[in-house]
Amino acid sequence: MLGTFLLTVGQNSRYCQTRNTFGRSHFTTSNNFNKILKALNTIATEMMAKPGPTVPAKIRESTRFYPYFKDCIGAIDGTHIPALITGRDVSSYRDRHGIISQNVLAACNFDLEFIYVLSGWEGSAHDSRVLNDALSRRNGLKVPPDNESSSPPANEDEFEPIFQTQEEQREIGNQWRASIATNMWEDVMQNENNDNEAE
Q: Does residue 31 sit in the same domain as residue 99? A: no
What angle, 0 to 180 degrees and rounded to 10, lies between the N-to-C axes of helices 2-10 and 26-47? 80
Q: pLDDT tens digits, the chain, 199 residues: what are they?
A: 777 787 777 666 677 777 778 888 878 888 888 888 888 888 877 776 666 667 777 778 888 888 778 777 788 888 888 888 778 888 888 888 888 888 888 888 877 888 888 888 888 888 888 888 888 888 788 776 655 444 444 544 444 445 556 677 777 778 888 888 888 888 888 878 777 776 6
Same domain, 106 and 199: no
End-to-end alpha-carbon separation of the chain, Å? Answer: 96
Please indicate, yes or no, whether residues 25 and 72 belong to a single structural domain of this protein. no
Query: Which domain covers residue 181, as residue numbers?
Result: 164-199
Instruction: Label each residue of 26-42 as H, E or C.
Output: HHHHHHHHHHHHHHHHH
State the pLDDT at residue 157: 47
Q: How far apart are CA 27 and CA 15, in angstroms?
A: 9
Residues 104 and 176 placed together within one structural domain of the fold: no
pLDDT at 156: 47
Same domain, 145 and 196: no
Number of domains in the chain: 3
pLDDT of residue 49: 62
